[in-house]
Chains A and B, each alone.
Chain A
């Protein structure tokens, strides 16, 4: 049943609920798809060997008349950054190769409790450091739109899995754009919730004050359905918010009627709109067209300024390495993971740790650990980490002023369409600039979403629109995001992904 894989999660859930389709059938269809295309896409690092059993158990309970949740029986892919006790969890690193955690991340436990079917673990840049998945220790993922290009990163695996119809839903994590940028370059939907909206317990930490787990999907409604499953207070995460969150799926359904755009105040952030160049022409063109369409749909578009954003990337590349250098210190060969003995000399525990970390970490991880160690070391703290934390304050102030004038802010989600594999991997600075549009939201903790914005005329590859809302206003993103999604797909006359060349054709 190949058509099963083309259904949205909401559509599939409806068929599962009505009994028209079983979870075993839906799961098998996606496993077949993975078997057929993942050799080319390499979205998955591990495919579950118990998914069909899980699906069968859910089918049995449904057949017995049990009341199940809205996404019960729907398959889901899980970024390898999340701890799963039945599947290895490596965060894309050799140092954790084969590590089977003795526990589930809170979001994974919530997926299981809501009866979703974990399909497998998706590829990512090592410890989520990167914008292309090329820093995965297990080889890069490929963009289903063009296999010679990257699917973005760090969550390229989750985005590729969803856009290649290997899974209707996936979980990602977003520290500086790792959900939104891959969504943009694969034509999928990705959401970074308000910091603290979703538990980080069991998410292998990159930068604790920036990381946030979120949904990846093909429609805004699907993202909202998954968001509703994973969000909410978790006492195991001390930064978890106690908000009573409204249903994001309901917000998306409301937005889908299109009325949300009338009178909506939409802010275009001058610093993120490509006015000073740096954006690919086709990205800029589709963004300008979207702005025009919003005006035509009755939205009030205003320009807002955020002068401190100029410093965002610099602040980010101090805070992230500093926190990451500390978070990754636990990878020491004592309690789990790789252990490597030094080639020569005495194998003291210090030397075993050093040899293990040299052998187990890739170049980008070492680069950022050294940078972070530098930023925190005595004598540099105030100038670097301390200053970067002040930049955060300034960025929050810029957002606060912008949200005085606008209900949501918009920008392109990524400055370019998917780039060629290997084109930036040796130029870390250029790679870092790929996140220029997404980083400010992480620094300020506000929610952000990327939705398809059309194909760039020059290369026929997807572009993404980023929407930002104030902290706690995630539902507004879903309502507005769904409204814009409806507006654009109505204008195109089809879903963006339906324009994707089928995978086999894309190779040629």
Chain B
């Protein structure tokens, strides 16, 4: 594969206006598939979740999953869409070995949701609104494994194997209208858009929203328009860009690649392109051609879907606060800096922090525990922080510090105990005997001993160099096995030193 020539990104943006469009497939987390009662489950033995319907056996017939309709409507509403009063499924026909019936049951000219919009917030604080053309329901295909040849790719494979467990899993495909005006932010817009979809479907609870498992898959359309022109350029569609970072990189790459071609006087080929995560490049796939004749027609084995307005309003009432609005509200309420708040968001700890605050902790303490110690332990163990402890436990721990019953250092030991399942923070304090020593007598004895051992330090303190007390604090804390309040120790040291 010849290496693509790339034009410098800033130069590309100077010469051309990038025009974007996205098709995002969201896999719904229903218990069963879209059109049959087989389990919608990831990671099970090949062909264990199939039936005559999703295996496309002669005589199989589809039956619509009501929950999938409900999830699609809720997703449509969350994207600000109109919900169709009447819509239908249609067959999109093409032959492919992972497509059991050799047609995909989808929607064509009558999607369940249409005409929505989604406002994105970029890191710079800039807001950009993406128009949603439609969100329609369809089914996923089976999974192909290519055997022989290089690295499991389709090219050069000797043969392929098909597992139909994923065949028939419900998808919602969200299609944007063209996005203009992103300019140099175009790559970030891609990332922010897909991130926003992910946040929405997660907040709705309609998808597991794990991009690494393919629950959300993005096709990115990019074209360039020369400055001053009103005509759209030829677009490419980069398929299956499956992480937020990759969306950003793929958009950037296509802008630079197309700009280099145009700059050299060439033309862009309308085609699908493959994204290569390892090299961060795209490569040519199938050219779009007149042969793409999907022969759509209304699915005769299914009847129209006509959601009543009452049902739609009931579902609207179940919508959670839009993620962006929620973030704005929480950031203001908590008084975090942009950076602090971003830490929480990036760590996917918004829910955990919110619940911890609700359980009585201060926002600052909640943030500190979750983005600090808990994230460190979670990363070390390769798990998510919110699986280690509950927000209630964190709030309780934070309360013990505030009341002076624990020091930060003791609290970290208590946390270990809580994570190890030894009980609530109070129980761990009790069992491990980790309470702060608040008996001044014991502290004074230790201080006197430490001062006696370090006469030079005592002299410095008495000389007015109070910061020298730190060395004594360390020795006292060590003697007390950490179970002392450092501030109190410091006070007592100065007192004993006659200051």
Contact = CB atoms under 8 A, between A and B. Distances in A.
Main secondary structure of the interface of B (DSSP, over half): loop
A83 B103 contact: no
A133 interface: no
A349 B102 CA distance: 13
Interface string B31-75: 000000000000000000001100111111111100000000000
Interface stretch (B248-256, B297-305, B454-462): B297-305
A208 B302 CA distance: 10
Interface in A369-397: 373, 376-378, 381, 385
B293 A332 contact: no
Interface string B317-340: 000000000000000000000000
Contact of A238 (B51, B61, B93, B162): B61
Nearest to A347: B159
B160 interface: yes
B300 A204 contact: no
B102 A330 contact: yes
B100 A329 contact: no
Contact of B301 (A89, A96, A239, A378): A239
Given A330-B102, A334-B162, A377-B295, A203 B301 contact: no
A336 B55 CA distance: 10
A262 to B, nearest CB: 40
A236 B95 CA distance: 25
B103 A237 contact: no
Given A101-B52, A239-B303, A330-B100, A336 B61 contact: no
Contacts of B97: 332, 334, 349
B302 A323 contact: no
Nearest to B50: A335
Contact of A205 (B59, B103, B295): B59
B273 interface: no
B91 A326 contact: yes
A208 B301 contact: yes
A330 B162 CA distance: 15
A209 B102 contact: no
B191 interface: no
A332 B295 contact: no
B210 to A, nearest CB: 29
Interface residues of B, number: 31
A402 to B, nearest CB: 25
A353 to B, nearest CB: 6
Contacts of A103: 51-52, 57, 59
B443 to A, nearest CB: 76
B300 A208 contact: yes
B58 A89 contact: yes
Contacts of A203: 59
A350 interface: yes
B367 interface: no
A102 interface: yes
B101 interface: yes
B59 A329 contact: no
A105 interface: yes
B59 A201 contact: yes
Task: Give the bracket for the number of chain A residues in contact with chain B.
Answer: 35 or more
Interface string A74-105: 00000000110000010100001001011101
A435 to B, nearest CB: 19
A105 B59 contact: yes
Given A330-B100, A349-B97, A235 B58 contact: no
Interface string A274-289: 0000000000000000
Given A329-B93, A349-B97, A236 B61 contact: yes
A463 B55 CA distance: 43
B59 A204 contact: yes
Nearest to B298: A389
A330 B51 CA distance: 14
Nearest to A91: B58
A368 interface: no
Contact of B293 (A201, A330, A378): A378
A204 B58 contact: yes
Interface in B123-161: 160
A200 B42 CA distance: 31
A329 B61 contact: no
A124 interface: no
A322 interface: yes
Given A238-B63, A376-B297, A329 B57 contact: no
Contacts of A326: 91, 93, 103, 295, 297
Contacts of B302: 238-239
A202 interface: yes
A326 B105 CA distance: 11
Contacts of A237: 61
Given A335-B55, A335-B56, A329 B63 contact: no
A335 B293 CA distance: 25
B467 to A, nearest CB: 78
Contact of A202 (B59, B63, B301, B303): B59
A102 B56 CA distance: 12
Nearest to A329: B102
Interface in A308-335: 322-323, 326, 329-332, 334-335
A326 B295 CA distance: 9
Interface string B6-29: 000000000000000000000000
A336 B297 contact: no
A204 B164 CA distance: 21
A200 B60 CA distance: 9
A335 B58 CA distance: 10
A335 B98 CA distance: 10
A467 B60 CA distance: 31
Given A101-B59, A330-B57, 20 more contacts: A89-B59, A101-B52, A102-B52, A105-B59, A201-B60, A202-B52, A205-B59, A208-B300, A236-B61, A236-B63, A238-B63, A239-B301, A239-B302, A326-B297, A329-B101, A329-B103, A330-B101, A334-B97, A336-B57, A376-B93
Interface of A: 82-83, 89, 91, 96, 99, 101-103, 105, 200-205, 207-209, 235-239, 322-323, 326, 329-332, 334-336, 349-350, 353, 373, 376-378, 381, 385
8 contacts: A89-B59, A201-B61, A204-B59, A205-B58, A329-B93, A336-B58, A349-B160, A378-B295
Interface of B: 51-52, 55-64, 91, 93, 95, 97, 100-103, 160, 162, 164, 293, 295-297, 300-303
